[in-house]
A and B are shown apart, each in its own frame.
Chain A
Amino acid sequence: MTFIKTKLPVVVTFVGAFIIIAQYYFDIPAWKTLAAELLRWNVILAAFALALGIGGIVKLHWGRIARRAPTALYSAATLITLAFFLAIGLAQTTRGESYRWLYDYIYLPVAATSYATTFFFITSAAYRAFRIKNSYAAVLMVSAVLMMLQIGIFAAFLPIAPRIAAWVWNIPTSAGMRAVVIGGALSLVGNSFRVIVGLERGHLGGGE
C-alpha cells in the first residue's frame, strides 16, 4: 500500500515529466507521439479535477446542513442552485436555450458584479491601506500616480503625462518585472524539479 500511495505516484510523475521535457529538446518521433498522448490525457484529468471541485463543495455544504450550522440555509441554497444548473446542463448541454438563459442572465452578471465589488475595495484601500510608510512606498505611490496620469483628464491638461507614463512603464517597471519573473521562474523550476524527481512529497502527504 505504501508503494501505491508514495512510490508509484513518484514513478509516474518522473516518467511523464521526463517524456514531456525530453520531447522538447530531442526530435524523436516516438517520444513526440507519446508526449502528445500524455498531454491529451492531462486535458481529460483536468476536466475531472473540475468535478472534484463539485465534490468538495457538496461535501462542505452538506456537512453544514447536517450539523444545522448557522449558515445552513445558505448552504442549502448553494446546493439547490448547483443541482439545478447541473440538471439543466446535463439535460440540454451548454447549447440549450434554458442553460444559455441562466448563464447569460444570472451567472455572467453575478460573476461580473462580484468582481466589481473590487471598485469599492480599491476606493477604501486607496484611502486606508495605501500608506507611505517608508521611502520604497513613496516611490511606489509616485509611480502609481504617474501611471494614472496618462489618460483622459490629465492627458487633456498635461500633454507630457502620457509620455512620462510610457517611460515609467517601459523602463523601470519592465526592468523590475523582468527580474522578478526570471527569479520566480527559476525558483519554480527548482521546486518543480524536486517534485519530478520525488525529492518533495508534500503533495503526497509526506515530507521529503
Chain B
Amino acid sequence: MNQGVTVQLLVLATFIATFYISANIYRKTGEFSARKFEGLAKMEEAIGRATEMGKPVHWSYGMGAFDAQYLAAFVLLEYAAGLCAKYDTRLIVSIALPEVVPMTEEVVRKAYIEQGKVESMQPEDVRFWGGSHNPAMIGTISREQVAGNFMIGSLFHESILSIEAAARYNAIQVMGTSNTHQLPFIAAGCDAIFIGAEMFAAAAQLDATPVRVGSVRAPDLITSVFVVLMVVGALMVTMGNTTLKTLIMR
C-alpha cells in the first residue's frame, strides 16, 4: 500500500458500505426525510408568478465543465419543467456545453410527457450557445423579461451577470452550485439558493430512489464522523497531543 493513504482507503470503504446499507434500508422501508428546501418552494412560486404575468422562466446550468452537479441539476430541471408544463408556462433553457444538449432535451421532454403536454413543449426553447452563453443568456433574460431565473450547476462568473440581468425585471431567482467561489454572489442576489450538497439532497427529495437516497445519506453520515473527529482532534492538539493527527495521516 502507498504511504499516507490507509485511512483514506478506510474512509472510502466505509463510504461505499454506508451507501449500500442506506440504499437497502430505503428500499425496505421507503423512509427518507430531508428538511424543506426553500429553493424548491421558490421555484414553484416563481413559476406560478410567471404564469400569472404571462412571462417565461429561464434556466441555465452555468459554464462549468460537466461534472456530478449536472446530475443533480437534471432532476431539478425536470421538476421545473414539470411545473412549467402543468401551468402552461414557457421554459427557456440556455446551455453552454454541447454534450449536455441531448440530455436536457430528454429531461424536458420527459417532464412534458408526464404532464400529458408534450405538444406544448417548444424544442427551440432549449438553446445551445457554447462560448457565447453569457451574452446570449443576458439577451434572453432581457428580451423575454423573465419572471423566474434558475441557475443550477457548475457556476462561474456568469452567475452575477444572470442575477443582475434578471433583477431588472424583479424575477424570482433560485441558484445552486458546489463552486464555493460563487456562493457569496448567489447568496447576496438570489431569493433562494442550494449550497453544495443541498442540490443533491433536493434532487433526492424530489425523486427518491434507493441510489439517490444512499448517495445523500452516506455523505451525511461520513460528515458526522468527520465533525466528531475534528472536534476531538482540535481538543487533543490544543492539549499538545498529536496522536489522532498522526493516526489520520497514515
Contacts and interface: CB of A to CB of B under 8 A. Distances in A.
B233 interface: no
Contacts of A118: 157, 160-161
A140 B216 contact: no
Given A25-B9, A200-B211, A205 B102 contact: yes
A25 B2 contact: yes
Interface in B14-56: 15-16, 19
Interface stretch (A7-15, A164-172, A181-189): A181-189
A57 B131 contact: yes
A128 interface: yes
A27 B1 contact: yes
Interface string B173-209: 0000010100111011100000111011000000001
A115 B135 CA distance: 11
A188 B214 CA distance: 13
A137 B188 contact: yes
Contact of B223 (A24, A140, A186, A203): A186
Nearest to B187: A140
A195 B212 CA distance: 12
A132 B182 CA distance: 18
A191 B134 contact: no
A57 B127 CA distance: 11
Contact of A187 (B5, B97, B164, B197): B197
Contact of B215 (A128, A140, A193): A193
| Most A C-beta atoms less than 10 A away, residue of B69, B168, B189, B197 | B197
A189 B157 CA distance: 25
Contacts of B1: 25-27
Contact of A193 (B19, B98, B199): B19
Contact of A115 (B72, B128, B157): B157
A66 interface: no
Interface in A153-208: 177, 180-184, 186-195, 199-200, 202-203, 205, 208
B160 A24 contact: no
B151 to A, nearest CB: 14
Contacts of B5: 24-25
Contact of A208 (B180, B197, B209): B209
A42 interface: no
Contacts of B64: none
A128 B168 CA distance: 8
Contacts of A200: 71, 211
A199 B165 CA distance: 38
B119 interface: no
Contacts of B161: 117-118, 121
A56 interface: yes
A168 to B, nearest CB: 12
A101 to B, nearest CB: 21
B92 interface: no
Nearest to B189: A129
Contacts of B67: 188
B187 to A, nearest CB: 6
Contacts of A114: 134-135
B74 interface: yes
Interface of B: 1-2, 5, 8-9, 15-16, 19, 66-72, 74, 97-99, 101-103, 106, 128-132, 134-135, 157, 160-161, 163-165, 167-168, 178, 180, 183-185, 187-189, 195-197, 199-200, 209, 211-212, 214-216, 218-219, 222-223, 226
Q: Pick the 10 closest A-B CB pairs, nearest first.
A: A56-B98, A184-B196, A191-B68, A186-B219, A190-B215, A187-B197, A184-B178, A129-B189, A129-B167, A125-B164
22 contacts: A26-B1, A53-B130, A55-B98, A118-B157, A118-B160, A125-B188, A129-B163, A140-B188, A183-B219, A186-B15, A186-B219, A187-B68, A187-B199, A187-B200, A188-B68, A188-B69, A190-B216, A190-B218, A191-B215, A200-B71, A202-B71, A208-B209
